[in-house]
């Protein structure tokens, strides 16, 4: 009896103490959604032991062969150690089919076809991380079907500069949004048994003379803006990282000790394979000391590396570590134990096409819809005129991420199917424009790796839109681009639809949206400024620089070499030494909407913006507590209502701003979001969570994350410029 009594007393005391603890710390037990995490088939510790045992058997020549690329797109294999050749392929809009490179036959790894997905910026415009996982899973499965071991993606460089020719491969201007998409992407790819590669580390935000571009950026800005997406990828279990072409504060990223050893390995905790981008290294000694593992495509800087090792100028133990990390990474994915290729995935291409279509449905953004000119029903007897460019072809981003696709549906194909009265005129006359009931003008840019392009469209396109809108009050514009464009001179058109690079089947989604079959729900993952001079990136090149605005000219072999050089902006690593120019990130952490908010510059279309055929309202914001400790998680509940007559979706966006900051901080920063589907007239309560990270900043003094005690405003809205509810929390 005494033992029972003591047990009963102890239990009562425990319950009382627990109750007191809960009252004292009301948010301690809140658990937000767990972050996705890939678990490799072989544990890292086991894989490392195996790698070490192989490295111990390797000769110096074998080690030096392993740390340089092989045949352009391979990690060299060694049959006697059970290591196969590993093929790497490019990736942004799907699997890049490459049958040869620099004379090497790669046809064994070339798929008969690969799905062209909407570009990655369109993926980010869905604001739906679940789609990111299925999108990436589909690409991973196509890699497996070809026996591809490493996907050279996803790209996650921040959209700082709207003229960047490679924005189409990335996930927008906000590090939090990019991070949530990236972590799902990593798990989606690697769960198929394919290694994903985070690229390009780091602060590579322009492609104009990219090897000659010296990014001048402080450590706080790196941690708060340019590294969070990489951190999320590392935390999600990414097995590989690719460094960037540019210099960081005076040294090329691919051979930069601060970038790789300090930022990537020490601060982000990455222990996997780091590879260079192609032809981005010029100093093998710096490479070995930097924490880099693999020089692609073929170890071009390593001609004298063996002699440096023999003279003791390069420590062989560091090369052993490079080899060990490469082999460990391959072993973790099981590449030393079985075949990579699985042709059963060839049967899933129809599923992948539907994933591409769903991505376009949720990623296409309706920017303007004056007087509800859209949707135009399929049953409409209106005479519709279609004119402009990229109508009878499917446009995509160019360069290494190029994916051409198959079973392609052009804009003309898609719109003719839904509008029997549609007439296509590549060069419409004034009478054509006047006499139509509705004019749809298709405009766009062909963005390309290795060069930037002007913010404005070509003169011909600008004139066409303005002419059409002058002659016909019911003019609408469809934009096909991998980045923002200048629209200030024709923002008075009746409707603007941002179609991005829609992929092989995305124009079907465009037709669905124009007809109202699909209610648009995409939101901009970046701000679109009125003029490029409004951007913090303005001035990085001279005003009189000749930009590549027409890639047909660039690719036209009939153009004289002297003229071609005028358009080609990429450089070799050797040429870059004489062409170095600084890009100073003077804006610090004020990138994108952070800049426009703080500087009180109104963009043409703000971050997070996108219209629907219905209307939504946010309100009744509640906190789980009005006061929290720095270590606690805060639950924020927001009521969202569909106040219109059509079923649809919006994205509830939660921003946080410190009221009395001790350092420069943005007015507000995105810290949580959720896409919500509602029937007409329906209301829901959405729970979002703010973790300690949501309130923190990177301290230049402590070189660590810090949280100030004080008041923080919590904003809820449907874009960065449309805040509908706010409240205040005190952090102790």
DSSP letters for 515-539: HTSS------SS-B-SSGGGSTTTT
Architecture of domain 614-731: Sandwich (2.60)
> What average pLDDT does this structure show over 612-621?
98
> What average pLDDT does this structure show over 210-235?
97
Q: What are 64's two structure tokens?
A: 């030096």
pLDDT of residue 561: 42
For 636-692, what is each residue's pLDDT tens digit?
999 999 999 999 999 999 999 999 999 999 999 999 999 999 999 999 999 999 999
> Which range (76-80, 103-107, 566-570, 712-716) has the least confidence?
566-570
pLDDT of residue 1: 42
Q: What is the layout of strands, in order, in the sheet containing 634-642?
A: 616-623, 634-642, 683-690
CATH class of the domain comprising 359-515: alpha beta
Residue 388 dihedral angles phi and psi, to the nearest 5°: 120, -155
Is this structure's pTM higher than 0.85?
A: yes
Positive or negative: CA dihedral 240, 241, 245, 250: negative
CA angle 613, 619, 625 (to 5 degrees): 145
For 161-217, what is each residue's pLDDT tens digit?
999 999 999 999 999 999 999 999 999 999 999 999 999 999 999 999 999 999 999
> What average pLDDT does this structure show over 504-519?
98
Q: Where are the beta strands (DSSP E) in 545-668?
A: 581-584, 616-623, 627-628, 634-642, 648-658
> Which range (236-245, 397-406, 474-483, 488-497) has the least confidence?
397-406
Number of residues that this document lists for the chain: 732
pLDDT of residue 552: 46
Residue 9: pLDDT above 90?
Answer: no
Q: What is the DSSP letter of 730?
A: E
For residue 481, what pLDDT band results from cuts at 50, 70 and 90?
very high
> What average pLDDT does this structure show over 495-514?
98
* Domain ranges across the chain: 65-93+116-334, 359-515, 614-731
Judge contact between 212 and 206, C-beta under 8 A: no
Residue 557: pLDDT above 60?
Answer: no
> What average pLDDT does this structure show over 481-492?
97
Burial track 228-244 (b if 16+ CB lie within 10 A, e otherwise): bbbbbbbbbbbbbbbbb
Rounded Cα gap, residues 231 and 238, in angstroms: 10
Residue 187 dihedral angles phi and psi, to the nearest 5°: -65, -40
Q: What are 191's two structure tokens?
A: 């769960």
- Smallest CA-to-CA distance from 201 within 155, 151, 236, 149 is with 155
Cβ partners under 8 Å of residue 531, min gap 6: 455, 486, 488
pLDDT of residue 570: 73
- Decide if 65-93+116-334 and 359-515 have a common fold: no
Q: What are 387's two structure tokens?
A: 């004119």
Rounded Cα gap, residues 161 and 270, in angstroms: 28
pLDDT of residue 32: 54
Q: What are 350's two structure tokens?
A: 């129809």
For 285-343, what is each residue's pLDDT tens digit?
999 999 999 999 999 999 999 999 999 999 999 999 999 999 999 999 999 998 999 99
CA angle 88, 92, 96 (to 5 degrees): 50
Residue 556: pLDDT above 70?
Answer: no
For 128-165, what is each residue's pLDDT tens digit?
999 999 999 999 999 999 999 999 999 999 999 999 99
Q: Point out the residues that are catalytic.
A: 277
Cβ partners under 8 Å of residue 554, min gap 6: 448, 451, 548, 564, 567, 568
The helix/strand count (H/E) of the chain reads as 21, 28
CA angle 689, 692, 696 (to 5 degrees): 120
SS3 169: helix
Rounded Cα gap, residues 86 and 76, in angstroms: 7
β 273-275/195-201 pair status:
unpaired
- Residue whose entry in the numeric block shows the structure tokens 């706010």: 726
Residue 102: pLDDT above 50?
Answer: yes
Judge contact between 104 and 72, C-beta under 8 A: yes
78 burial type by CB count under 10 A (0-12 exposed, 13-18 middle, 19+ buried): middle
Residue 361: pLDDT above 50?
Answer: yes
SS3 16: helix
* CATH for 65-93+116-334 (3.90.1310.10, 3.90.78.10, 3.20.20.300, 3.20.20.70): 3.20.20.300
Q: Where are the beta strands (DSSP E) in 401-482?
A: 422-424, 438-444, 475-480
Residue 227: pLDDT above 90?
Answer: yes
pLDDT of residue 640: 98
Quote the distance between the C-alpha of residue 456 and its chain's center.
23
Judge contact between 729 and 711, C-beta under 8 A: yes
Q: What are 568's two structure tokens?
A: 């080609």
For 57-80, what is each residue's pLDDT tens digit?
999 999 999 999 999 999 999 999
Judge contact between 326 and 67, C-beta under 8 A: yes
Q: Bigger pLDDT: 15 or 267?
A: 267
Quote the distance between the C-alpha of residue 234 and its chain's center.
15
SS3 543: coil
Cα distances (Å, whole numbers) of residue 312 to 288, 289, 319, 379: 13, 14, 12, 79
pLDDT of residue 5: 40
- Smallest CA-to-CA distance from 84 within 72, 95, 74 is with 74
Radius of gyration of the chain (CA): 27
pLDDT of residue 29: 44
Q: What are 719's two structure tokens?
A: 């874009």
For residue 15, what pLDDT band results from cuts at 50, 70 and 90?
very low
Positive or negative: CA dihedral 207, 227, 180, 711: negative
Residue 555: pLDDT above 70?
Answer: no
- Smallest CA-to-CA distance from 695 within 721, 665, 651, 725 is with 665
Mean pLDDT of the chain: 92
705 burial type by CB count under 10 A (0-12 exposed, 13-18 middle, 19+ buried): middle
> What average pLDDT does this structure show over 375-403?
94
Rounded Cα gap, residues 697 and 699, in angstroms: 6
- Smallest CA-to-CA distance from 484 within 120, 165, 177 is with 165
For 284-294, what is each residue's pLDDT tens digit?
999 999 999 99
Rounded Cα gap, residues 693 and 672, in angstroms: 11
């Amino acid at each position: 009896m005494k033992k029972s009594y003591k047990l009963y007393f102890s239990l009562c005391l425990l319950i009382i103490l627990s109750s007191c603890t809960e009252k004292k710390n009301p948010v301690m037990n809140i658990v937000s959604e767990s972050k996705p995490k890939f678990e490799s088939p072989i544990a890292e510790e086991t894989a490392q032991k195996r790698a070490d045992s192989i490295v111990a058997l390797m000769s110096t020549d074998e080690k030096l062969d392993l740390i340089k690329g092989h045949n352009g797109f391979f990690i060299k294999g060694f049959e006697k150690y059970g290591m196969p050749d590993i093929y790497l392929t490019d990736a942004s809009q799907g699997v890049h089919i490459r049958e040869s490179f620099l004379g090497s036959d790669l046809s064994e790894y070339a798929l008969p076809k690969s799905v062209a997905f909407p570009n990655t910026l369109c993926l980010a415009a869905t604001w739906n991380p679940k789609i990111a996982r299925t999108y990436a899973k589909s690409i991973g499965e196509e890699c497996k079907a070809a026996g591809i071991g490493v996907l050279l993606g996803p790209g996650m460089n921040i959209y700082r500069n709207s003229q960047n020719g490679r924005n189409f491969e990335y996930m927008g201007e906000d590090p939090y949004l990019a991070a949530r998409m990236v972590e799902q992407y990593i798990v989606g790819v690697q769960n198929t048994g394919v290694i994903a590669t985070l690229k390009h580390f780091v602060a590579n935000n322009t492609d104009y003379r990219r090897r000659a571009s010296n990014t001048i950026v402080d450590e706080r800005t790196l941690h708060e803006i340019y590294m969070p997406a990489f951190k999320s990828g590392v935390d999600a279990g990414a097995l590989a990282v690719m460094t960037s072409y540019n210099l960081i504060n005076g040294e090329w990223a691919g051979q930069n000790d601060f970038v790789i050893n300090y930022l990537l390995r020490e601060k982000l905790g990455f222990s996997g394979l780091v590879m260079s981008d192609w032809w981005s290294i010029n100093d093998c000694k710096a490479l070995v000391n930097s924490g880099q593992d693999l020089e692609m495509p073929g170890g071009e800087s390593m001609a004298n590396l063996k002699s440096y090792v023999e003279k003791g100028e390069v420590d062989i133990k560091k090369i052993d570590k490079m080899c060990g990390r490469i082999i460990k990474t391959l072993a973790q994915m099981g590449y030393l134990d079985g075949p990579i290729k699985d042709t059963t995935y060839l049967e899933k291409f129809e599923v992948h096409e539907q994933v591409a279509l769903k991505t376009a449905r949720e990623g296409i953004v309706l920017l303007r819809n004056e007087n509800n000119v859209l949707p135009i029903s399929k049953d409409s007897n209106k005479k519709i005129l279609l004119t402009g460019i990229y109508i009878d072809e499917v446009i995509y981003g160019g360069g290494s991420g190029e994916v051409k696709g198959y079973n392609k549906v052009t804009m003309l194909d898609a719109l003719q199917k839904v509008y029997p009265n549609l007439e296509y005129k590549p060069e419409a006359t004034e009478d054509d424009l006047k006499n139509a009931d509705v004019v749809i003008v298709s405009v766009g840019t062909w963005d390309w790796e290795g060069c930037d392009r002007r913010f404005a469209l070509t003169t011909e396109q600008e004139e066409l839109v303005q002419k059409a809108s002058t002659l016909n009050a019911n003019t609408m514009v469809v934009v096909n681009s991998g980045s923002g464009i200048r629209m200030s001179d024709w923002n008075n058109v009746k409707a603007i639809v941002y179609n991005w690079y829609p992929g092989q089947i995305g124009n079907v989604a465009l037709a669905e949206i124009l007809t109202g079959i699909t209610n648009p729900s995409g939101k901009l993952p970046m701000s679109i400024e009125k003029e490029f001079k409004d951007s913090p990136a303005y001035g990085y090149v001279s005003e009189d620089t000749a930009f590549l605005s027409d890639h047909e000219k660039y690719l036209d072999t009939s153009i004289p070499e002297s003229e071609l050089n005028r358009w080609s902006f990429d450089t070799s690593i050797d040429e870059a030494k004489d062409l170095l120019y600084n890009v100073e990130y003077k804006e610090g952490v004020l990138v994108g909407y952070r800049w426009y908010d703080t500087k009180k510059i109104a963009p043409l279309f703000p971050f997070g913006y996108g219209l629907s055929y219905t209307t939504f309202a946010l309100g009744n914001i509640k906190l789980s507590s009005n006061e929290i400790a720095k270590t606690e998680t805060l639950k924020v509940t927001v009521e969202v209502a569909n106040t219109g007559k059509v079923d649809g979706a919006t994205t509830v966006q939660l921003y946080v701003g410190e009221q009395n900051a001790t350092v420069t901080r943005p007015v507000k920063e995105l810290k949580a979001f959720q896409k919500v589907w509602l029937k007409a007239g329906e209301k829901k309560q959405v729970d979002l969570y703010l973790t300690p990270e949501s309130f923190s900043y990177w301290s230049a003094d402590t070189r660590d994350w810090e949280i100030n005690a004080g008041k923080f405003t919590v904003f809820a809205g449907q874009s960065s410029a449309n805040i509908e509810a706010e409240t205040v929390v005190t952090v102790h």
